[in-house]
Structures are given as C-alpha cells and as structure tokens.
Amino acid sequence: MLKIKEFNKIIVANWKLNGSNDFLEAYFEKLALKDIDSDICGIICPPITYFQNCYSKLNSLYLGAQDCSKFKDGAYTGEISASMLRENNCIFCIVGHSERRQVFKENNEDIKIKAAQLLDEKIVPIICIGETLEQKKMHKTHEVLKEQVINSLPPNSSKESVVIAYEPIWAIGTGITPTLEEINNIHKYLKKDIKEIEEYKLLYGGSVNPKNASDIMSLENVDGVLVGGSSLKADQFSEILKA
Ligand code: PGA
C-alpha cells in the first residue's frame, strides 16, 4: 500500500463523468508535471474506461477511481470490484462522494463496505463527507460530519491507509466556498475532536481553483484538496499541483 503519511499534500482530480480519447490526449499534452514537489501526491481519477490510457501518461501522478462495487464478484451487472481496480493500477479510490450519496442513494454502510474491500486490495479509500446548506443553516455541520465519518469508516481503517475528504455539498460546483477560517475550524474539529480519525489525512473539496488552492492548502489542518471542475482544465490543474 502506498505510504500516504510521507506526502505533504494530496491533490486529487475528480473528472466525474467527463472525458473522451481526444480530451485525454490534449489534457496530458498540456499538463505540466515537471516542477511538482516530490512530497506532493497528485492523483487523477478518470472514468475507468480511460484507466490504461491515463496510466501510460501519468509520470509521477497516481491513478484513482471514483467509486467501486461493494461486492467482490457475482451476478451484479455493471459493477466493478476493488480487485479489478487493483489489477488495473488503481492506487486510490473515492468513496461516498456526495453525488453517489444523493443521486445513487448510497449510505454510510455501503461506503464502509466499499472502503473495507478497497483496503483488502491495498487501495487507499478517499472517504467523502459533507453537510447540505440546510444542515449548515441549522448549525448541524459538526453533528452530521461526525455521524457520517464514524459510520463510514471500516474496521480495518487507520491513518496510514485511509484519507478523508470534507466536501460541503453547497460548495461543490457552485463557485462558493466556506471562508478559510471556517475550513480550518471544521478540519480542526474533525482531526482533533473525533478520536476515530485523529491525525488522518484530511482533504478539502468544493470549488477549489487555482486562485484559492494555495490559501486553502496552507491552512494548518488541511492536507490537500479534491478538485472537480478545475481538474478538467489541464492548465488549471497544473497550477493547483504547484500551489
Ligand atoms: P468542484 O467539485 O471542484 O467542481 O466543486 C468537487 C467535487 O465534487 O469533488
């Protein structure tokens, strides 16, 4: 398993349901991978059909998936298992993204099973948590995050093997982010007050772009970022990797 503790920052590109063969060629031609510090862990999560093509172009970056099946094998049409991901050079896998939770009705239990399967295959799960705007307005953020994280963590989880990503749902794809102080305080709460994830690597996600990435990543309790929209533009993601 990759030693995640050795990295200073972890920066994830979540391409979601985007890409094509042409897109991929143009993207990697433009992506500037030269001056990235060796203690930065850069990860590209494309749709699985582009895994092999991406893998051949990654250089020092790592390959990640956006989801995996909670089943190991069998009659589950359309599913892709953790062991299949491992056989295809997958090192990280996002689980419990808010789009999976909301659109595909995944719950904490599903996410916990997926994360356990990934750990069995020596793939690092990136477990996403985040509150809705309504929950934030009702001052329920801490409560919601604690409930999600504790119930999504698999029993074989450790700070060496699992990454957590805090992604406020209202900040995803909206261009709106919490203030730097809010991000740092929520990360501090997660890292210091929830014993189960004490000292885990903790990423921030939601409208990260080249303009705000450096400030967000310089916060004491932020170990990296999970990037959606801006990760689809090679020049913007290159800037974030160097932020
Ligand atoms: P965004 O997406 O950067 O486009 O807000 C982040 C995410 O969904 O992981």
CA distance 166 to 148: 11
Ligand 1 atom 7 nearest Cα: 228
Cα of 192 to ligand 1 centre, how many Å? 25
**Nearest protein Cα to ligand 1, atom 2:** 228
Radius of gyration over alpha carbons of the chain, in Å?
A: 17
Residue nearest to atom 9 of ligand 1 (CA): 228
Helices then strands (H, E): number in the chain? 10, 8
Cβ contact 127:115 at 8 Å: yes
Token pair, residue 15, equals 């391409």
Tokens of 178: 């919490």
Residue 243: per-residue pLDDT: 87
Specify the ligand 1 atom closest to the Cα of 14.
9
**Nearest residue by C-alpha to atom 3 in ligand 1:** 228
CA of 173 from ligand 1 middle (Å) equals 5
Q: How far, in Å, is the centroid of ligand 1 from the Cα of 152? A: 20
Ligand 1 atom index nearest CA of 173: 5
Q: pLDDT tens, position by position, for the chain (243 residues)?
A: 999 999 999 999 999 999 999 999 999 999 988 888 999 999 999 999 999 999 999 999 999 999 999 999 999 999 999 999 999 999 999 999 999 999 999 999 999 999 999 999 999 999 999 999 999 999 999 999 999 999 999 999 999 999 999 999 999 999 999 999 999 999 999 999 999 999 999 999 999 999 999 999 999 999 999 999 999 999 999 999 998
At 105, is the secondary structure helix, strand, or coil? coil
Which atom belonging to ligand 1 lies closest to the Cα atom of 174?
5
Q: Which residue ranges have their beta carbon within 6 Å of ligand 1?
A: 14, 167, 172-173, 205-208, 226-230
Q: What is the DSSP letter of 195?
A: G
**Active site (catalytic) residues:** 97, 167
**Ligand 1 probe mutation, 10, 14, 176, 204, most atoms within 8 A of CB:** 14
- Rounded to the nearest angstrom, the distance between the alpha carbon of 228 and the centre of ligand 1 is 4
- Kindly give the pairing relationship between strand 201-205 and strand 224-227: parallel
CA of 75 to the centre of ligand 1 (A): 32
Q: Which pLDDT does position 226 carry in this prediction?
A: 98
pLDDT digits (tens, 9 = 90+) for 72-126: 999 999 999 999 999 999 999 999 999 999 999 999 999 999 999 999 999 999 9
Which among 17, 44, 226 is the best mutation to test ligand 1's pocket, defined by most ligand atoms within 8 Å of the CB?
226
Ligand 1 center from residue 207 Cα (angstroms): 6
Q: Are 183 and 225 in contact (CB under 8 A)?
A: no
